[in-house]
Structures are given as C-alpha cells and as structure tokens.
A and B are shown apart, each in its own frame.
Chain A
Amino acid sequence: MLELKNITKTYNPGTVNELCLFEDFCLTVKDGEFVSVVGSNGSGKTSILNIICGSIPINQGEVVISGKNIAKTKEYNRYKYIGRVYQDPAVGTCPNMTILENMSLADNKGKCFGLSFGVNRKRAGFYKSQLAILGLGLEDKLETKVGALSGGQRQSVALIMATMTPLQFLILDEHTAALDPHTAEIIMELTDKVVKEKNLTAIMVTHNLRYAVEYGSRLIMMDRGKIVIDKSGEEKKNMNTDYVLKTFNEISIECGN
C-alpha cells in the first residue's frame, strides 16, 4: 500500500518562478489498484511519480510504502520495490546490449551484481516465455542489440524488464506517449495483461483520456496540485470519456487556457 501524506512541494523557492505545487497533498493507493492519473501540463501528475520514486525532494510530508516512510531513502534504493517504465523508449533499455543481456540485468534486480556470470543461459527459456507474452516474436531475437529494435518493441521489452522481478508497484510514466497510435494500443493492452497476470499495483500517468477511462480500476484527474476527480470501482466503470473531457475543459477554461 502506498500513502502520500501531507506532501508540500514548492518549486524554485525564493525566485520569480516560485510555485507551491502541492500543499498538504494526500493520496492513498491500495494494493492491487490500477490507478490512471490524468491532468494538464503542470497539474502535478508527473511530480507525484517523481516524488514517489525520489527523483525530486519534498519540503514536507511522508511517502509511506507498506507502513515504512521512505522519504529519506535514496532514489536508487527505492527502486528495490518499484518498477518504472518511462515515456522515452530509449530510457528503459540499454541500446548497445542484446535483449538477452538486458533481460539478464533486469532478472538480477534486487540481488548482488557480483562476479558470477552475467548472462545465465539456463534462464533463457524463462526469458523467452516472458517475451512470448508480448506476442511480438521477440523471443526469437534474444541476441539482437536492443538499439536495432523499433520504439514499440523497445518499450515492450522495457515493460517486461520492469515487471520481471517481484514489485510492490509499477510506475508507468506516460509510457505510450511517444509511440504511434497502433503501437500504443498494443503496449496498452500488454500493460493491462501484465498487470492483471502478475496482480500488480500500478500507477499510470497518461495524456490519453480514453486509456485512462478504459484501463485500470481507478481514475484521478489532477489540476494545479489538487485532485479534482477520483473515481474507482463501479463509478469508474460507468464513466465515459466525454465526462472526463468536459471536466478537463472546464478547469482549463477557469485557468484561462
């Protein structure tokens, strides 16, 4: 379970651009929830992710995972229980290493990176089965350098890599935004499949209102650091994109956009 308690975050304090984005912000995500977060630029949706992962510091508040406050934990240590897929397909994998090598790296997450052999060929069968879920034929291309794959293929590999080892939850950071509509569709379906199969808790930030409505068990819309829509369960199932879009436009008009 993830709890953001009384988070206060001010950007550029003491300058002309000072912006207090979050003030006493609270959010709780229960185990097994698949949360979609939408909002305009600057609403704070990406900031939430960065605060959870530790990329940006907070002025006040607590980030609690399963009862433990991790606000002081270093960023790389937080990733022991978090998996993350980034918007840029290039960031989730190592381009000059093969799929097999990338998978081996991800497989070793959380364990010691010592002097034993990096690529365990005995696990190749396991990697193939993981890649087979994607249905893209990548399981036959284990020795291909990742840099040679297309954006969509790289993002799929990144998704599998991020979910290969046990996680507390998965962060999806606009991970379909850089893909063409067809590939984005495939990745989204795969994401849903993987999350369901592995029973993951997931937080997905997206610009695509349709995805936010169609996938996931809970929808949150952010506006200037506050939650304006928070629907889950049955309420969410009955939502449609028009409603979300209307609210989106309303707050945009209020801001004078």
Chain B
Amino acid sequence: MPELIVSTVTQGLLYAMLSYGIYITYKILDFPDLSVDGSFPLGAAVTAVMLANGVNPYLTLLVSLVVGALAGLVTGIIHVKFRVRDLLAGIITMTALFSINLQIAGSNFPVARATETIFTAGPTMAVFGSLSLVYRKLIVTFIVALLCKILLDLYFKTKSGLLLRAVGDNSTLVTTLAKNKGTMKILGLVISNGLVALSGCLVCQEQRAFSSTMGTGQMVFGLAAVIIGTTLFKRLSFVKGTTAVVIGSIVYKACIQIAISLGLPANLLKLITASLFLVILVIGNLSKEAKTQDA
C-alpha cells in the first residue's frame, strides 16, 4: 500500500528539477519559457543514446544539464540579441528541438533492462541494494532533487543570484545598477533549461525510454506545479520557494493518482484532476485571506 504513495512521490520528485526551472523563468524572471517542451525531451534523448553507448549513468546527469543549458542559451540569445518576444523565442527553440531530438534518438529509443541506470548501477546498489527498486527510485531521485534545491537556494543567496531576482522584480533597477539585464535574463534561461533537461534525463532512466512526444505539455505541468506550490505556501519567505514547487509537483501527481485510484470513469480523469486543482487553489487562497483577517 505505501508503495503507491512512494511511486507517486517519486513521480513528483522526478519532475522537481523541471519545477525549479519553471520557477526561475516564470516566477522569478517573469518569462514564459516554452523551450521547456523541447529541452525536457532533449535531456532524455541524449541520455538514452549515451546509456545505449555504455556511458556512465551518473555522467548523463551532468551532460543533460549542459545540453539543457545550451538550449536555454539559444532561447536567451534569440530573445535578447534578436529582440524576439519571450513567448516566441521559446517557441522557436522548442520547435527546432523537436527535429533535433528526432535526429539524436529517433521517435522512440528504449533503454534495455540490461543497461545500468542511476537506479541500478554499482554505486547505488552498493548503498541501497537491499531496498526494492521502487524505494531505490524514491531515494535516488530525492537525493538529486535535494542536491539541486540546496545548490539553487545557495545560488540565490549570492550576489549573482540576488541580481537575478532583481531582474525579475524590477529590471529598471538592474540597469540603474550598471548591469546588463539582458545578460542576466540569458543566465536565468540557461540555469532553468539545464535543470529541465536534468528532469528529462531522470525520467528517461526511470521509464527506460525516450519518446519524442514526451515534452508535450511539460510547460503546462510545470506552471501548474509552480502555481499550486506557491499558492499553498504563499506566506513563507523566499527561500522556501524551491520547496514549495517540489511539493506542487508532488501534489499534481498525487491528484492524478487519486483520480486514477478512485476508479472513476476513465474519460473523466482530466476533469477530475482539474477539479482537484481548483479545490487546492481555492483552499490556498482562503487560508491566505484568513491570515490577513487575523492580522
């Protein structure tokens, strides 16, 4: 029984990096970045191909970060240097990446069971070998998500991180502080898409497959996770933002799982999920109002 909860939480954690990424671009930079729909499968595509070629699965984590960062760089350059609107810049990158991903891994690329992933490779088995695969997936994913969160939170405390937050909060001030806000935006996109691709890498290893359609709707999912998370935890101070979006991601997956488990008519799945979101958001807003009334 708890296994269902474990697998649902794992699903939420797999997408935690994607939520961090969208948190950075959407919440902090106020930049709706559709390239996410392309950089997520990009991470998965390079991971699938690398694993099939015997590359160390832990190394694929780093490589997907880098390729994702490159994708973000492209969007940033298109937006800042070529002055294309934020939404369109992301769409351009996303569309281009669709073809690029097909070139890298074809339309589908399975990862054979014999191939080691971060969930089954030596070092993981050495430490967690006594646990079943389901629990190993949970713990390894949790470690990656936690590491990313800690690094991200630390980054936001640095001067560069502070400036990044300023760009999204008041970009005029950044110019007045003699810094190029365009460069900071590009930096934000680079970090964000790197994280998104990392999510893609993890999902590919967990599912043992790359599919060229796996990026569709990830931006929408990420937005939902960020909005649910930040609404539920509105009163907490900034640093908790990263925690909030991870929980938002888990809550989203949990809502779907609840709808599945309730055994209700299959076609109504999406309607039920939407209703659950609505309930959560309303509760979040109510608690915010109650707080202000108390004060």
Contact = CB atoms under 8 A, between A and B. Distances in A.
B165 interface: yes
Contact of A93 (B160, B170, B178, B179): B170
A101 B238 CA distance: 12
Interface string A77-88: 111100110100
A80 to B, nearest CB: 4
A162 B178 CA distance: 11
Interface in B132-181: 155, 157-163, 165-166, 169-170, 172-181
Nearest to A96: B169
A44 interface: no
Chain A, interface residues (CB within 8 Å), range: 20 to 34
A113 B163 CA distance: 7
A114 B158 CA distance: 7
B159 A118 contact: yes
Given A92-B173, A97-B169, A114 B178 contact: no
Interface stretch (A25-33, A104-112, A130-138, A188-196): A104-112
Given A91-B170, A96-B169, A97-B165, A106 B177 contact: yes
Contacts of B161: 118
Nearest to B183: A76
A110 B178 contact: yes
Grouping DSSP codes into helix (H, G, I), strand (E, B) and loop, the B interface class, with mixed when no group exceeds half, is: helix
Contacts of A90: 170
A56 to B, nearest CB: 14
Nearest to B155: A115
Contacts of B163: 105, 113
B177 A114 contact: no
B239 to A, nearest CB: 12
Interface in B78-130: none
A71 to B, nearest CB: 17
A227 B157 CA distance: 48
A63 to B, nearest CB: 16
B157 A118 contact: yes
Nearest to B182: A76
A116 interface: yes
A94 interface: yes
A143 to B, nearest CB: 9
Contacts of A110: 178
A64 B268 CA distance: 69
Contact of B178 (A80, A92, A116): A80
A95 to B, nearest CB: 6
A202 B178 CA distance: 18
Contact of A91 (B159, B173, B180, B181): B173
Contacts of A114: 158-160
A105 B177 CA distance: 8
Contacts of A95: 169-170
A116 B159 contact: yes
Contacts of B166: 94, 97, 105
B170 A76 contact: no
A224 B229 CA distance: 54
Contact of A104 (B155, B162, B174): B162
Given A93-B170, A95-B169, A79 B177 contact: yes
Nearest to A109: B177
Contact of B175 (A76, A104, A108, A117): A76
Nearest to B166: A94
A75 B173 CA distance: 12
A91 B172 contact: yes
Nearest to B173: A94
A49 interface: no
Nearest to B238: A96
A74 B176 CA distance: 12
A131 B247 CA distance: 39
A218 to B, nearest CB: 24
B23 to A, nearest CB: 14
Interface of B: 155, 157-163, 165-166, 169-170, 172-181, 238
19 contacts: A79-B178, A83-B176, A93-B170, A93-B173, A94-B173, A97-B165, A97-B166, A105-B162, A105-B163, A113-B162, A115-B159, A116-B158, A117-B158, A117-B159, A118-B158, A118-B160, A118-B161, A119-B157, A119-B162
